[in-house]
Amino acid sequence: TDPDPTDPEQPTSPGDHVNLGYFTEWGTYDREYLVKNIVTSGSAEKLTHINYAFGDVRNGECVMGDSYAALERSYTAEESVSGEADAWDQPLRGNFNQLLQLKEEFPHIQVLWSFGGWTWSGGFGEAMEDPERFAQSCFDLVNDPQWEGVFDGIDLDWEYPNGCGLECDSSGPRIFGDMMSSFRDVFGDQLVTAAITADASEGGKIDAVDYAYGAENADYIAVMTYDFFGAFAPQGPTAPHSALTPYDGIPQEGFTSDEAIQKLVAQGVPREKLLLGIGFYGRGWTGVTQSEPGGSATGAAPGTYEAGIEDYKVLKEICPVTGFVGGTAYAHCGDDWWSYDTPETILTKMAYAQDQGLGGAFFWELHGDTADGELIAAMDEGLR
> Terminal CA-to-CA distance of the chain, rounded, Å?
20
3-state secondary structure the chain: CCCCCCCCCCCCCCCCCEEEEEEEHHHHCCCCCCHHHHHHCCCCCCCCEEEEEEEEEECCEEECCCHHHHHHCCCCCCCCCCCCCCCCCCCCCHHHHHHHHHHHHCCCCEEEEEEECCCCCCCHHHHCCCHHHHHHHHHHHHCCHHHCCCCCEEEEECCCCCCECCCECCCCCCHHHHHHHHHHHHHCCCEEEEEECCCCCCCCCCCCCCHHHHHCCCCCEEECCCCCCCCCCCCCCCCCCCCCCCCCCCCCCCCCHHHHHHHHHHHCCCHHHEEEEEECEEEEEECCCCCCCCCCCCEECCCCCECCEEEHHHHHHHCCCCEEECCEEEEEECCEEEEECCHHHHHHHHHHHHHCCCCEEEEECHHHCCCCCHHHHHHHHHHC
In the set 25, 61, 79, 159, the catalytic residue is 159
Closest CA to 184 of 222, 214, 217: 217
202 catalytically annotated? no
Give the whole-angstrom CA distance, residue 53 versus residue 111. 11
Taking a C-beta distance cutoff of 8 angstroms, is the pair 36, 81 a contact?
yes
Contacts 24+ apart (CB under 8 A), 7-13: 11/44, 11/45, 11/105, 11/106, 12/45, 13/45, 13/106, 13/108
Q: Catalytic amino acids? A: 159
